[in-house]
Structure 1
Amino acid sequence: MKGENTLYHKRARDILGKPFTFIVSRYLGVSIAIGIVTGLVIRVFRWIIDRTLTLLTIIYPFMGKHPWLLIPYILGIFIVAWLIGKIVKPYETDVVRSGVTQLKAVLLGKHRIHRWPVLWRKFVASLLTICPGLFLGRERPSIQIGACIGACFNEKFFHLTDKDKYLLMEYGVAAGLSAAFSAPLAGTMFLSEEMTHNFNSRIWIPALTSSIVSAFITFLFFGTKPCLYIPITTKLPVASYPWLIVAGVVIGFLAYCFQFAALNLTWWYSKITFIPKEFHNIIPLLLVIPVGLWNPYILGGSHDFIKYVTNMSLSTNWKAMVAILLVTEMVGSVEQILPMTLITLVAYYVNRLLGGRPSLYDAMLEEN
């Protein structure tokens, strides 16, 4: 038959999608909005922490010279502990721990988060614990705050259901971490590697948008200089690489010790029955005082101390890829990628070899 063997060649219009039908574009506006709000909230969060920890470097040396001032300071710490207990008690499960574990449980359908009550309680309680100098980072509260902001957007404006109902919360996760460190790539990678375990375009493209916007908001207030700026003027000589392996082994061992201690904290605190559970925070708040008298620069997230010793370990909480990206964005240099990759990989492997978990947050899910 005529034309029987004629090949049909598709044209571009048969292959390409119709303009403005990209499904991810429907989430572009809300991802930008989440990034803006999260960036503004975390900006205030970071500003208060930075100013307070700087103030501690003045207060503690002054108290060291005038010991009698420890009495009103300790009384103030008891008031702070009481406030923390009262704030977190109604939503203790969501506010007391890191927040990341609870978010993972939400994504697995094992937990339900109360958005607004958790949002403001996490914000205030985190400030009340970090500002007196407890060894807590800003990243995990920022992640949960961002997630709650995303969830509030869904509850108030979008009402997404079924498999889409957690999308805006996931965008907030990425925006929160990004705003905490001004590191948008690490925020997006953390979401994909630690929380969702996939690179679905409906998730990571809007999440990257939220991350970039929230980081940009922090740039407007804090400048474009990386938040943990360590100027590196020379390249590490090849002869030093064996020592990186040694350092990786030590860091991996310490990471395992950290996981062991972190996963036993709940059990240890359960043995303390003479103090009401909601006021257990008084123990670390008092224990940190002698540390502050010794060296106030290591209090809180220890950013100033890290800048001084130029050494930091991320293998305890963060998977290898996120660790490398986060340090690269925070430090502001890509020249040391190979050494960072080597030491991170060795630390990660040693931690796993000793029986450590690749994700501390997944391990914490098994505590309950």
Structure 2
Amino acid sequence: MGNRNGTSSKDRSVNLDIRNYKLLLNALLIGVITGLLSSIFRLVLARLSTFRTTFQIGQADQLWQDWFWPMLFTFFGIWFSIFLVKKYAPEAAGSGIQEIEGALDGVRAVRWRKVLPIKFFASIFSLSSGLLLGREGPTVQIGANVGKMVEDVFKQSVEEDNPLISTGAASGLASAFNAPFSGIIFVIEEMNGHFKFNFYSLAALMIGAGSADMVVRFLVGSGPILKTTIFTFEDLSGLWLFVVFGLILSFIGIAFNKLLIEALDFFKKIRINPMVIALGIAFVITAVGLYSEDMIGSGYSTIANAYNDSFTLKFLLALFVVRFFLSIMSYGSGVPGGIFTPLITLGVISGMLFGGMAQYFFPDVVQDPAIFGVAGMAGIFASTIRAPLTGLALSVEMTANYELILPLIFTAVTASVCTTMLGNAPIYSILLKRILNKGETAV
């Protein structure tokens, strides 16, 4: 029997099935496009990151060249990135994940025609300059904007807006770290209040993240991002140390979130020409980089050196302090870039530092300090972003240390519960609320 409009229940069911199948096909397209853009993004960044360090000749009689060329390269990258964002797409500043959460709630517009090119190119300049920023924020925002682009190009219904943007976000994180499961978990956990759950929207996430990761593995390479020792964990007598470590990370997370917001407010309030700001930051980054390259950049080489026991405990402490404040300064400046990788780097450093001291005092309990380095990745993610499952998944996928799940769970849950009890809100919720409270709009 038909309804008043002459449409039978069978016809409605057929239309619904067609819409769901289109959603899954669109998710595949989003994943492929996002994976392709992320691959190009990663390959260009890899080439530019080595290009910057070639300026540092290291000869005493050519010290001015060691300073001048790296500083000029860094200055131009920061200044041009700030220029592009401020003039053409202010919402492309920072990681952009808070913008995606706002878009899923319908309180922020997704202007993919401007954001896609600006986020892509401005992020290349900012991330190759030596700033302590990660590629995952840009790829997540790029992926989400690809989702909106596919919706607009194929004139999909408004109902498809949420799952397609979410699929793009999952694809972006998956393609940044070769971590498809983390991309899926991130949307489910971090965006749980924004993502509309049903069977097909969840399937779309899986298709998008999987296809994006497949493209990246074809074009960039497969395997875990971080090459570390594959550990076993059979002695449970040291589990209490991971609880203590998680407690410490909860306080680090509170400090990081608070100082990050203060840095954003500081750079927002000061009335200084962006060129002067870029010059000042370039001077700091260049000076620190000349002392130690491990203290600047996104952190992948720093993590590798830390896992290889290349640092003393004294240097690890200095490395943590310097990278902590430079990460906050880099993000606060307003250039595009994510905080996942800098946070993960801080987690590894703090884990190696804690593990080294724990091994000194409890040699029979701690088999290798690097286990705490892996746990630190999950714990600091849980304490700042308050996404313990994502931190757990990322740590395991990026290092292939699947047998460390138990100690990682103890670290992550302790860090997330303690930081929550102490009143530390998730950083992206804070950033979104900050944007909405200040009435900032895209121009």
1:352 aligns with 420
2:390 corresponds, among 317, 322, 335, to 322
Question: Are positions 1:224 and 2:222 aligned together?
Answer: yes
1:110 aligns with 107
1:251 aligns with 249
2:283 aligns with 286
Secondary structure of 1:345's counterpart equals: helix
Q: Distance in 2 between matches of 1:332 and 1:121?
A: 34
1:37 corresponds, among 30, 33, 39, to 33
343-352 or 49-58, larger mean C-alpha shift: 49-58
Change (3 A) 1:234 1:193: closer
Change (3 A) 1:152 1:21: closer
How far is the alpha carbon of 1:297 from its aligned partner?
2.9
How far is the alpha carbon of 1:215 from its aligned partner?
0.5
2:403 aligns with 335
Q: Percent identity?
A: 25
How far is the alpha carbon of 1:58 from its aligned partner?
4.8
Map 1:267-286 onto structure 2 (within 5 A): 267-276=265-274, 280-286=277-283
Tell me the TM-score normalized by structure 1.
Answer: 0.86
Question: Are positions 1:366 and 2:433 aligned together?
Answer: yes
Change (3 A) 1:318 1:219: farther
Change (3 A) 1:235 1:174: same
Change (3 A) 1:123 1:26: same
1:239 corresponds, among 237, 240, 258, to 237
Q: Which amino acid aligns with 1:237?
A: D
1:14 aligns with none
2:127 aligns with 130
2:359 aligns with none
Map 1:1-368 onto structure 2 (within 5 A): 21=17, 24-60=20-56, 62=58, 66-69=62-65, 70-157=67-154, 159-195=155-191, 196-197=194-195, 199-235=197-233, 237-276=235-274, 280-310=277-307, 311=348, 312=377, 313-315=380-382, 316-317=384-385, 319-357=387-425, 359-367=426-434, 368=438
Secondary structure of 1:152's counterpart equals: helix
Q: Distance in 2 between matches of 1:190 and 1:78?
A: 34
Residues 3-53 of structure 1: CA distance to partner in whole angstroms, max 9, x if unpaired? xxxxxxxxxxxxxx99x9486322222111111111011011112223333
Secondary structure of 1:336's counterpart equals: helix
Q: Which amino acid aligns with 1:347?
A: A
Change (3 A) 1:142 1:350: same
Secondary structure of 2:289's counterpart equals: helix
Change (3 A) 1:207 1:246: same
Secondary structure of 2:285's counterpart equals: helix
Secondary structure of 2:243's counterpart equals: helix
Q: Distance in 2 between matches of 1:217 and 1:330?
A: 17
Q: Distance in 1 between matches of 2:138 and 2:207?
A: 21
Change (3 A) 1:343 1:64: farther
Q: Which amino acid aligns with 2:431?
A: M
Report if the CA contact (8 A) 2:231-2:404 is conserved. Answer: no
Paired residues, what number?
348
73-82 or 226-235, larger mean C-alpha shift: 73-82
Report if the CA contact (8 A) 1:174-1:211 is conserved. Answer: yes
How far is the alpha carbon of 1:67 from its aligned partner?
1.8
How far is the alpha carbon of 1:65 from its aligned partner?
7.7
Highest Rg: 1 or 2? 1
45-54 or 64-73, larger mean C-alpha shift: 64-73
Q: Which amino acid aligns with 2:430?
A: A
Report if the CA contact (8 A) 1:60-1:292 is conserved. Answer: no
Q: Distance in 1 between matches of 2:254 and 2:160?
A: 36
Change (3 A) 1:55 1:243: farther
Q: Which amino acid aligns with 2:21?
A: S
Q: Distance in 2 between matches of 1:37 and 1:340?
A: 33
Change (3 A) 1:324 1:233: closer
How far is the alpha carbon of 1:211 from its aligned partner?
0.4
Report if the CA contact (8 A) 2:98-2:431 is conserved. Answer: yes
Q: Distance in 1 between matches of 2:173 and 2:110?
A: 19
Secondary structure of 2:381's counterpart equals: coil
Q: Distance in 2 between matches of 1:72 and 1:57?
A: 10
Q: Which amino acid aligns with 1:349?
A: V
Report if the CA contact (8 A) 1:35-1:211 is conserved. Answer: yes
